[in-house]
Structure 1
């Protein structure tokens, strides 16, 4: 089966090559005039309008490799992690953007960050000073609670120097909260218990960012600082039945980071140096209370991350760019967890753990313009990792993984591209999986597991991209993955003999994915300046269940993602309006004595109107979730291991979400 799939990919590429025409560059340039009809406020608004491009935000993995997102600024990746890519682009005024380059399949001098498509935002070189005041509010129409946001941003360009700062107060929320019910069926007696329910979830935090870019040593130096505070409080109450049940989860997260970035040239060699220091603290208290029964779970973690990355690029010829370098990262987590049942302490596996990781990576690659129509990007990374842990046991483990990668791009003309990619991708150990966590209202306590190994994926990708009608594009992507050491749930035993579920490796599996993205201008249908962007993403994984031995999907995988986003720019009204549809999601989880099915039932619908009377003023009004989706969570609880024990109960919970009004007022000064 796998061999035939790979042969089909190669055959498709050969057939496509048979109809080759004259080739042109794989980079499409969109200047500021292309976005004028949409009157964008920020660089992020402009990126969202790129034909055939789907924005990917900054990743959360440790280190820089694999966390960059798919947008560059002036050819460089941001040296920040706490401050994500979307936030950075949102703080860049659209008036400061000269053009955006859509780079497909690789280009000499551009670090593609392991991606096949990236957008490169090129800023104007002009002196200016701007202040932006942004006021927002989210009003839930069900219970009336609000989640306001406010920010003040400063940007100054002076010659080749840029200075930026922002102060933000933000409100976070869970959009699936509302009124609902709980239905528990005892499969032994057939008795069903009903309870009414109400849930809420919100937080109020803040953040400070600052950055400075200056010429230094013949190159460009940038330093950035970010401070964040993000508390969150979630509540759920179940009334009636055996007695009122109160669930409370209160979490706090604080992060601080400093990043340094220098880029310059030594003759023909381009040097890029990145340094980052990041520290964090998180605390969580999860409580379940009912008459005669009270459970409390405490956890706290402190984290530290230090990264140094050096990259050298050398143009051997005008058509061949070589790149080499290395990255070193040190990460640590000091975690503590405790579980109390009616005041009695329950021992947990790895309840207190100190984990540190020393990871080094060296890499080399070349980007070769073989012919006007053909580009090959190939290279390899070699990862060396040592993980030490002090918990129930003291141990140290080492890993070594070679990670080859190759992308072959064929561009028969300026509108079409075919790309073939092979890559070995290695996952990353989640430090949070080394210590216990809890969900007392559902899956209970999940233990830590010090024996985890990262999953390894061999990826094979074939993609085709076609641009049309200036603003139209379609991208079809087929991906097959062979996965070693799939990370899922396994049973582990506590010191007192109690068995808990924990993250663990369950064997080998595979995953197949089909992704179709389309950008369709609607002028032909009489909708002037109308645009429909759509995403259709389908995937199916398979892995042997460690309990039953039967193949099933990987826990947490969402089999489909369908999004439709319609917008229309109306010049006479200085406005843009639109409607967004999302088919929502569902996912399954498999534990030793429980399976879980979480589902958000479609549709999720949003309608908005944005009015910009002048370049300085912007008013955005939006009605979110006016279809009021329903969130279902079903727990199938067994009397013991699922392969031998009967089904004990079915715990079904359903919440009817609330529509929400979002209002934004934005004023630019300068």
Structure 2
């Protein structure tokens, strides 16, 4: 295959509010240092001084000009989750949508599919990266940025979730966690090891996590076709029994060398390996109408994925007081998928197909940042972010029952070149007023070539000015306002640009073939964010924020019949508008009740609206947007026992995807419980229950046409209660 090289060119709202009412109580004064008389060994009284921190200490959410929510390591590991997706569903303003209970799409403001940017250590997640395979114990913190920042990519229309892997080094840390989880349809163990230490100018940290999850369950479905006159012309029941397992291994070593007090070198590597096996049948029983061509189809799926990212960084403080950060990184990944499909007509085989797909990713990237203080109150930063990523794909399909010659192997090669430069200035204009001004230019050049289609080349560049400001209201301690103007975008992925056809066995309007569109353009968004925040006691917060995004060149998927088969393809269609309103509060109960127990309360609600202008209403929401999400949580501590609960609600309903397509999502309620018992300073036991309400997963899609009527296909996947027990030991 010829090598491609293209140089990049520079060119339930009321309920939530009622939960927040305590924040308007009289502000609690900062807790003063308390002196208590105690007796020394000789019987004389001495003063014991207990010093407590106050809300005046630095808090990135409160004090940074750019809006940032930080989820700490303690919050991440609180429920003993085995993957990062379960952690994120409890974060205010974030929802995780899953059609079948495995994996899921992370959404901010109810939007996913590339509108929400996922970063790992400040960089875009590598190809093939799975949040389901990322262990929470490997994460140091999670940063949620509602408005764009010039330092990070501005492919963040809805916002950015930045996952920071373990990097803090503690003297002589040895911690082992052994867990077992189970439910009525599966079980699996989990082990996690953390180690760190220092020796003079050298320090290191190491995290390793291994997990396995076995599953065995039966899903059920229904497919109906209703003619324009209301007559049911097709009715089919579907059975989908599944059995398999998922395994994952995470390794995260980090080495630090301090060459001088202000001169450090760091090497960090992240390795992830995952394996997935699934054996399932799709059995169709026809009650009304004609049966499908393959009424009893068996599938065997074997997937293997390996990803590696390694970074070498250097941080140096210069004599002028400026700081220079440089980083060079490489990434690699391999994905192999094997699918065996077979079917019979009752006695004789009519399908015996073998499909093998392989993908190999390679990448190199470089980032640099120069920061210094300019004049009085100016913190200036400038830098770059560039890289080259390549992907080679090979796909071979064989059908043992075909009399014709076998299909040739399909090969393709993609190359993506990226370059971004940025500058930002955070300026403390007054003690109560700070301003953030930033600008980022990003250019992307994509080239795809394959033996089954012609060469495809696409390029785009976006100039993103950003303004954020923070104003602390004088005379009202703890009250502040935020405002931001941003320009962000969503670039089309390589898979959406490639015109290669991906076929569906039982091709229909609800199971169409997929084909990319090489003429896709990036979606551009202009955004406005505003927020009011009230910090009324130590650890207590109330905030209300609103945002709006107007998106041009909006991409949606169109389904059509080409005369032989049904096909779905992405296309730029007109524009869209999205708006959001979020309310959040958290506080210790002692902030509103004198002599209250050690209870912490948190609550949030997000209401989202959107409209795709080229799709007729009602329910013409953008990207199947989640209209309403709600989180409630409480934690209680008494001696050696810590316990708590979390409730997450996500509304559903119909969505008009296009003129002819409609989806339906069932509202979802997730209730999780946990209890932690500390035996001593080195041993503790954590117990957790998730999906206590036994919520199932429903996926439903409808295609509507004046000639055939409405064809609906739905599947229901069981969602049992899952139990986890984790033994944690420091040694």
User: How far apart are the structure 1 equivalents of 2:135 and 2:211?
Assistant: 16
Structure 1 equivalent of residue 724 of structure 2 = 662
Specify which of 329, 335, 347 is matched with residue 276 of structure 1: 329
- Structure 2 alignment gaps of length 5 or more: 1-54, 62-71, 80-86, 97-104, 287-294
* Higher-Rg member (1/2): 2
- Which SS does the other structure have where 1:542 is aligned? strand
Specify which of 689, 693, 700 is matched with residue 634 of structure 1: 700
Q: Using the TM superposition, give the Cα deviation of residue 422 of structure 1 relative to its aligned residue in structure 2, in angstroms.
A: 0.6
Structure 1 equivalent of residue 35 of structure 2 = none
User: How far apart are the structure 2 equivalents of 1:361 and 1:194?
Assistant: 52
Q: Using the TM superposition, give the Cα deviation of residue 619 of structure 1 relative to its aligned residue in structure 2, in angstroms.
A: 0.8
C-alpha spacing 1:92/1:625, structure 2 compared with 1 (3 Å): closer
Structure 1 equivalent of residue 9 of structure 2 = none
User: How far apart are the structure 2 equivalents of 1:539 and 1:479?
Assistant: 9
Determine whether 1:250 maps to 2:319. no
Structure 2 equivalent of residue 146 of structure 1 = 187
1:600–1:630 contact (8 Å) kept in structure 2: no
Q: Which residues of 2 match residues 79-98 of structure 1 at below 5 A?
A: 90-91=137-138
Specify which of 414, 429, 439 is matched with residue 370 of structure 1: 429
Structure 1 equivalent of residue 688 of structure 2 = 622
Structure 2 equivalent of residue 425 of structure 1 = 488
Structure 1 equivalent of residue 529 of structure 2 = 461
- Which SS does the other structure have where 2:187 is aligned? coil
Structure 2 equivalent of residue 35 of structure 1 = none
Q: Using the TM superposition, give the Cα deviation of residue 537 of structure 1 relative to its aligned residue in structure 2, in angstroms.
A: 1.7
Q: Which residues of 2 match residues 565-576 of structure 1 at below 5 A?
A: 565-571=633-639, 574-576=640-642
2:148–2:466 contact (8 Å) kept in structure 1: no
Q: Using the TM superposition, give the Cα deviation of residue 646 of structure 1 relative to its aligned residue in structure 2, in angstroms.
A: 3.1
1:194–1:241 contact (8 Å) kept in structure 2: yes
Structure 1 equivalent of residue 38 of structure 2 = none
Specify which of 603, 606, 612 is matched with residue 669 of structure 2: 603
Q: Using the TM superposition, give the Cα deviation of residue 464 of structure 1 relative to its aligned residue in structure 2, in angstroms.
A: 1.4
Cα displacement string for residues 355-383 of structure 1 (whole angstroms, at most 9, x for unaligned residues): 21111111111110000111000021111
Q: Using the TM superposition, give the Cα deviation of residue 164 of structure 1 relative to its aligned residue in structure 2, in angstroms.
A: 1.4
Q: Which residues of 2 match residues 192-341 of structure 1 at below 5 A?
A: 192-200=235-243, 202-216=245-259, 218-239=262-283, 241-242=285-286, 243-267=295-319, 268-286=321-339, 289-292=342-345, 294=351, 298-337=356-395
Report the more deviating stretch, 558-567 or 442-451: 442-451
Q: Using the TM superposition, give the Cα deviation of residue 430 of structure 1 relative to its aligned residue in structure 2, in angstroms.
A: 2.0
Structure 1 equivalent of residue 462 of structure 2 = 401
User: How far apart are the structure 2 equivalents of 1:79 and 1:439?
Assistant: 31
Q: Using the TM superposition, give the Cα deviation of residue 387 of structure 1 relative to its aligned residue in structure 2, in angstroms.
A: 1.6
User: How far apart are the structure 2 equivalents of 1:404 and 1:80?
Assistant: 24
TM-score, normalised relative to structure 2: 0.72
1:338–1:346 contact (8 Å) kept in structure 2: no
Q: Using the TM superposition, give the Cα deviation of residue 600 of structure 1 relative to its aligned residue in structure 2, in angstroms.
A: 4.5
- Structure 1 alignment gaps of length 5 or more: 1-23, 31-39, 95-99
TM-score, normalised relative to structure 1: 0.78
Structure 2 equivalent of residue 538 of structure 1 = 607
Q: Using the TM superposition, give the Cα deviation of residue 601 of structure 1 relative to its aligned residue in structure 2, in angstroms.
A: 3.9
C-alpha spacing 1:388/1:324, structure 2 compared with 1 (3 Å): same
Q: Using the TM superposition, give the Cα deviation of residue 445 of structure 1 relative to its aligned residue in structure 2, in angstroms.
A: 3.3
Q: Using the TM superposition, give the Cα deviation of residue 452 of structure 1 relative to its aligned residue in structure 2, in angstroms.
A: 2.3
Cα displacement string for residues 53-74 of structure 1 (whole angstroms, at most 9, x for unaligned residues): 879999999xxx96547xx9xx
Q: Using the TM superposition, give the Cα deviation of residue 590 of structure 1 relative to its aligned residue in structure 2, in angstroms.
A: 6.6
1:489–1:590 contact (8 Å) kept in structure 2: no
C-alpha spacing 1:414/1:212, structure 2 compared with 1 (3 Å): farther
2:251–2:270 contact (8 Å) kept in structure 1: yes
User: How far apart are the structure 2 equivalents of 1:231 and 1:123?
Assistant: 27
Cα displacement string for residues 46-101 of structure 1 (whole angstroms, at most 9, x for unaligned residues): 9999x99879999999xxx96547xx9xxxx699866989969835899xxxxx99
User: How far apart are the structure 1 equivalents of 2:239 and 2:132?
Assistant: 41
User: How far apart are the structure 2 equivalents of 1:124 and 1:628?
Assistant: 38
Q: Using the TM superposition, give the Cα deviation of residue 545 of structure 1 relative to its aligned residue in structure 2, in angstroms.
A: 4.2
1:28–1:101 contact (8 Å) kept in structure 2: no
C-alpha spacing 1:343/1:491, structure 2 compared with 1 (3 Å): farther
C-alpha spacing 1:182/1:80, structure 2 compared with 1 (3 Å): closer
C-alpha spacing 1:167/1:549, structure 2 compared with 1 (3 Å): closer
Report the more deviating stretch, 373-382 or 585-594: 585-594
1:480–1:510 contact (8 Å) kept in structure 2: yes
Matched residue count: 607
- Which SS does the other structure have where 1:452 is aligned? coil
- Which SS does the other structure have where 2:520 is aligned? coil
User: How far apart are the structure 2 equivalents of 1:92 and 1:491?
Assistant: 40
- Which SS does the other structure have where 1:528 is aligned? coil
Cα displacement string for residues 447-494 of structure 1 (whole angstroms, at most 9, x for unaligned residues): 233222222111110011112231221222211001122222135899
- Which SS does the other structure have where 1:90 is aligned? helix
1:563–1:582 contact (8 Å) kept in structure 2: yes
1:633–1:653 contact (8 Å) kept in structure 2: yes
User: How far apart are the structure 1 equivalents of 2:167 and 2:304?
Assistant: 37
1:636–1:647 contact (8 Å) kept in structure 2: no
Specify which of 611, 616, 623 is matched with residue 555 of structure 1: 623
Specify which of 386, 400, 419 is matched with residue 360 of structure 1: 419
CA RMSD of aligned residues (A): 4.6
Q: Which residues of 2 match residues 481-496 of structure 1 at below 5 A?
A: 481-490=549-558
Structure 2 equivalent of residue 384 of structure 1 = 443
User: How far apart are the structure 2 equivalents of 1:85 and 1:248?
Assistant: 21
C-alpha spacing 1:431/1:25, structure 2 compared with 1 (3 Å): farther
Specify which of 475, 478, 485 is matched with residue 415 of structure 1: 478
Cα displacement string for residues 612-657 of structure 1 (whole angstroms, at most 9, x for unaligned residues): 121211211112112110212223244xxx4x54325322322332
